[in-house]
Amino acid sequence: MTRPGRVTQQRRRTAKRHPRRDYRDDNLPGPLFPYHPEFTIDLSQAKISEEEKEALTDLLNEFSDTFSKNSYDLGSSKTDPVHIQTSTEVPVKGRPYRVPVKYQAQ
């Protein structure tokens, strides 16, 4: 007999999975927007010249791999952490460390 609240192996295998909670690769829903090699952006409301619109469209198409295609292709950043230079390299507050007795005389 199982304790209340525990799911047996058989029930776990046969339980129907919630469609929104099963995010294995083979069960991912289709893309929210179909992938197109070129962006389809409406720049008609932009207050820029035609040359600037063309340059912007070219830039967006050139770097299209940096934009998310749907909500499931977001990942983590692979960049190194940024070191922020401060006015002093000395820490504002530091915890004193214990020095072994044989090194205290030095």
What would the pLDDT profile of 24-78 be if each residue is shown by its tens digit?
Answer: 444 445 544 455 555 567 888 889 999 999 998 888 888 877 877 776 777 667 7
61 backbone dihedrals φ, ψ, rounded to 5° = -70, -35
72 touches 28 (CB < 8 A): yes
Q: How many CA atoms lie within 13 A of 1 on its CB side?
A: 2
Is the confidence at residue 2, as pLDDT, over 90? no
In sequence order, what are the residues at sequence separation of 6 or more whose Cβ sits closer than 8 angstroms to the Cβ of residue 7? 15
Cβ atoms of 55 and 71 within 8 Å: the answer is no
User: Residue 18 above 50 pLDDT?
Assistant: no
Determine the Cα–Cα distance for residues 46 and 41; give it in Å rounded to an integer.
11
pLDDT in tens, 54-68: 998 888 888 877 877
Q: What is the pLDDT of residue 51?
A: 94
